[in-house]
Structure 1
């Protein structure tokens, strides 16, 4: 009976509301630091379209960097990101939670509804919109990007903006992604990787670049949080995160030579 109760739509709606309120409390009571000069400058120069990207383990912190971007880039304020979530029951529940942060949902995955979801995201990006993807969701492997993010970036030509956030207080679940659950009244760091575009011929290289960038910003944010917890201040770790946030975008291989073209 308890299992049936926890699957009832009214129970799930109430749980989603409570979890959304809790996440909002965490966001509002955390003192945030931003490492993202290059990303903010790029967004000010070109506020759309954008492919936001973060690891599945950071879903509880996922909306907060976008809120910060909107505050710093006024042209982003009217935009509502469309977040890709699984059609599975867990994905629908997550969608109910994050929808409370002025985000809209696109339901789909690589196994069910993926092609339709990709077409929907392409339409949004062609209208200068914003989409958000967790490339290792909904089932992993952890921190391994699926092909979809590289394909979307290569076909759309929209820049990908990988980011991560970490807090000094929190714990991890024993889930496949080791999901981070932040606690209120923390210090937090947001690391924005400089956005980059993926050439049409380089979908796989783009996927690998997104994976590397996401792991890098996650590790940088976590290193800062760990230093703060250990009482070291985190100045060196913050400087390292700021260096990541200012670096040049990744380079991609040249397109293959066409018929009748001689290799150099």
Structure 2
């Protein structure tokens, strides 16, 4: 009983609040620029809803940035690690739905659709929580199709960053790093995609994200583009 209570304290309070404090502390030092924001704003100004799609590798600064897009929801797995992220996201104002492809996914989709009908946007790590890296899993396409909302590939690139030895080579921008947040053109998912259409849509989103990340990361090698963006 004591062990269970202590574990609950760790996963529900200590880890989420400590982690969130560090996230906010680091995020406050970043010099952020938003690129191609019209791809997001044109949808929002028209009263539309959207899914922000990104790699799991770079959700660290996105957790605080996208919290400014309230009301916003996300699906997080029911694992212990997911519990930490879910608690931190909830504290930031996200509406967290628990579930995954292996457990509770159907009910999670129903809940997300209900929230979207209430005006919520959706944030989604396309290859989480366990990879493979860069592979767009079915959940993203199902959310967009089921809730009838466009996918907006959203990337975050830090000029100076730590890279961890995890399955996704998880990245955390270093303190005082320049940071680019970039939105790609929206991808609309039709209700009926025909035979093979679902897999083709997954491949299309994956290729878009890959190209967007590579092009944005390349900015840090081009002094002229850095000066254009940051002045």
| More displaced stretch, 54-63 vs 107-116 | 54-63
Distance 1:32 1:98, change over 3 A: same
SS of residue matched to 1:90: helix
Counterpart pick for 1:91 among 82, 86, 91: 82
Matched, 1:136 2:108: no
Corresponding residue number in structure 2 for 1:121: 112
Decide whether the 8 Å contact of 1:82 with 1:103 is kept in 2.
Answer: yes
Provide the residue aligned with 1:66 in structure 2: 66
* Residue aligning to 2:216: 221
The residue number in structure 2 matching 1:103 is 94
Unaligned runs of 5+ in 1: 71-75, 240-264
2:145 match: 154
1:35 is aligned to: 35
Asked if 1:233 is matched to 2:213, the reply is no
Q: Flag structure 2 segments of 5+ consecutive residues without an equivalent.
A: none
Shift in Å, 1:65:
4.3
Following TM superposition, by how much is the alpha carbon of 1:60 offset from its aligned partner in structure 2, in angstroms?
0.5
User: How many matched pairs?
Assistant: 221
Give SS of 2:130's match.
coil
Cα gap change, 1:47 to 1:186, in 2 (>3 Å): farther
Match of 1:9 in 2: 8
**4+ residue runs over 3 A deviation:** 236-239
Q: How much has 1:108 moved relative to structure 2?
A: 0.5
Task: Give the CA deviation at 1:218.
Answer: 2.1
Q: Which has the larger radius of gyration?
A: 1
Residue 205 to residue 46, structure 1, CA distance change in 2 (3 Å): farther
Counterpart contact for 2:132–2:167, Cα < 8 Å: yes
Deviations 1:138-168 (A, max 9, x none): 1110000111211222232211111011112
Alignment of 1:49-60 (within 5 A): 49-60=49-60
Question: Alpha-carbon deviation of 1:115?
Answer: 0.8
- Tell me, yes or no, if the aligned pair for 1:85 and 1:91 is still in contact at 8 Å: yes
For 1:236 and 1:109, locate their aligned partners in 2 and report how far apart those are by CA, in whole Å.
Answer: 39
Cα 1:41–1:16 change in 2 (3 A) is closer
Q: CA deviation at 1:43?
A: 3.0
Q: 1:178 aligns to what?
A: 169
Q: Residue 217 of structure 1: CA displacement? A: 2.2
Contact 2:40 2:152 in 1 (8 A): no
Contact 2:37 2:182 in 1 (8 A): no
